[in-house]
Amino acid sequence: MKIATWNVNSLNVRLAHTLRWLEENQPDVLALQELKLDQDKFPESAFADIGYNAAWNGQKTYNGVAILSKEPLENIDINMPALNDPQKRVIAATVNNIRIICSYCVNGESIESDKFKYKQQWFQELHEYVKQQLLQYPATILLGDFNIAPNDIDVYDLQQWQNKVLCSPQERSWFKQLTELGLIDSLHYLHPNEAHYTWWDYRMNMFKRKLGLRIDHILISQTLVPQLQAANVDTAPRGWERPSDHAPVTAILTS
C-alpha cells in the first residue's frame, strides 16, 4: 500500500500537477492540504476520472484538506469534535482497515504571536483526538503538513532557525507527544541520518540551493511498523512550473 501526503498550496492552481503526480506514481492513498477551495468547488470528477474516490473538508482562500483513495473511503469524519474551530484542517477516513488522518497543522507565525498560542492549543486538541482515534483504530496513519521540523537534521541551517517558529523546542515537544502515543515517523525511522526536506521558501532560490525544512510527515502506528518498507520525498514536482512550495512524501507498506 503506497500512501502519500502533499500540501498543494491551492488545488485550483495545482490541479494539473496533482493529477499528473497521481497518474505517474499511482499511490493508493494521497492526503492533500491547503486546498483553498470552498466545499462545493472541489473537483471530485477530475479524480474520479482517473480512478480515485475523494473525501474533503474545504475552505475558501485558506486551509482545506482531502483524502484521495483507490479503495472506498469509510467512516469519514471532518474536524476535531472537541475543538470549536472554523478552520478546516482535519479529515479522517478508513481505507482497507487503516485509519487515515489528514492534518494541516497550524503554522504559528512567530513564537511571540497569538497565532503561536493558537498553535499550542490546536496541537493539544490534535493529541487528544489522535489518542482517541488510536483506541478505536489501532492501525492508524497520521499524515500531512505538521509545520514542525522535529529534528536538527530536518533544518538546513539550525543556527538560523533555532528558537524560531517551525523549529522551536516547544513545537518539537508537541511533535514528540504525538509520537509518544505510539506513532512512528516513517521517513526518520528508515533514514535517521539523512537530510530530507519537504518545504522550500519561494524566495531566494531556496529550492535550487537545497535549503529547506522537513515539515511534512507520515506517522504510522506501532502495529504498522512491521509492514513499513520504504519512505521518501519526491522533490521533482517542486521543480515544475508554478509549483507548490512543498513536495510529496510517500510511505510504502506491505499488505
Count CA atoms within 13 Å of residue 95 on its CB side: 27
H helix or E strand, kind and range, residue 216: strand 216-221
Active-site position among 52, 104, 156, 197? 104
Cβ pair 200, 206 in contact under 8 A: yes
Question: Which cell numbers hold the place of 33?
Answer: 492540504
Collapsed DSSP state (helix, strand, coil) of residue 130: helix
How far separated are the first and last CA of the chain, in Å rounded? Answer: 6
Whether residue 137 lies in the annotated active site:
no
Whether residue 145 lies in the annotated active site:
yes
**CA angle centred on 245, ends 239 and 91, rounded to 5°:** 125
Active-site position among 28, 129, 137, 145? 145
Question: CA nearest 89: which of 30, 147, 4?
Answer: 147
H helix or E strand, kind and range, residue 124: helix 114-136
- Alpha carbon distance 39, 114 (integer Å): 28
- Alpha carbon distance 53, 153 (integer Å): 36
Q: Virtual CA dihedral for 163, 169, 170, 173, nearest 10 degrees? A: 160
Instruction: Name the β-bridge partners of 53.
Output: 69
- State CA 144 to chain mean position distance: 1
Catalytic residue numbers, as ranges: 104, 145
